[in-house]
Amino acid sequence: MEVCTTDMQDCSFFVNVIPPQQLTGSLNGRLPLIGNPVQLIACEDLLTNGHHCGETLATDSKLVPLVATYGVFVRSVAVFHTRAHSTDTTWVSVIGDTDISNLDKSKCRGPHPTNNCETLPAGDFQDGDHALKFPFPQVGDFALGADSDSSFRFAFAVWNYGFELVPSWFDLSDALINAAVPVFSTISPSEEIDLTPALNDHPWQGCDGPTAGTAFRMTGAQLEQLTRATGNFSQTIGRYVVKSQVGCGASSQYAVTFAISRTRWFAP
């Protein structure tokens, strides 16, 4: 006999079945939408011309109570124009959590910050599209079910430091937390909010400062839909135009590509 999904795409076969007999096994196949029932059919297996169902023996449906975990990383930075004379020394900060009370500046300091914040150097960039090298600036793994009540809030910022050294990368993560956390408290699902005005309120040294920054909120249902086909979703945000300080040259113009990755499924 065989047990299959009702579209006969995924099946598990049992041989030498002698009633009454309890059968155990697994059915490997495509996952349904989280929380939707899987329709199953058990039938007599006919071996003529390959396996196919003969007489239907039973039908049933099983719920799939799965939860997914997600991570967010910045994948590339496009520089349309740099306010530095030739190259930007670029840094990237990313923060995020399902519980914004965890976004505490003290937790983002030190050599081993938590998985909800990270600031990394990206490289010295001239104009052009620049893919970031591994390890990517990222946050994760955060678990969300496909229900509208759970959501993930995250934000990123890209910083231009020209030829000057970063005085402290703590300043970068602190500034992003200061700008994003108040927004996280009011942002609606699927909303995107430009953070560059708030990031520029910080008194950056010389001509340095933020060139891009956005805050997001996505529900578990939205994340499940975005990553449904391949487990990954990417989006490009820009162009940002950040007005340069007097004497610092023309304004910088950036775009940023980030990605959301479904890292695993698990049963709650």
CATH number of the structural domain 68-266: 2.60.40.150
Nearest of 125, 141, 142 to residue 76 by alpha carbon: 125
Q: Where are the beta strands (DSSP E) in the chain?
A: 2-5, 11-13, 37-46, 52-63, 67-81, 88-97, 117-125, 128-131, 138-144, 151-160, 192-194, 209-219, 232-242, 252-266
At residue 50, the pLDDT reads 55
CA 213 to centroid of chain Cα atoms: 16
Euclidean distance between CA atoms 16 and 52, whole angstroms:
16
- As annotated, the residues of the chain forming the CATH 2.60.40.150 domain(s) are 68-266
Nearest residue to 258 (alpha-carbon basis) of 235, 232, 226: 235
Residue 36, pLDDT > 70, answer: no
Query: What's the confidence (pLDDT) of residue 228?
Result: 84
Q: What percent of the chain has pLDDT over 70?
A: 75
Residue 46: both structure tokens together:
């006919």
Please determine, for residue 94, whether its predicted confidence score (pLDDT) is greater than 90: yes
- Considering only residues 83 and 186, tell me which one the structure prediction assigns the higher pLDDT: 186
Distances (CA, A) of 86 to 18, 29, 161, 214: 78, 53, 12, 26
Q: What mean pLDDT is predicted for residues 220-226?
A: 89
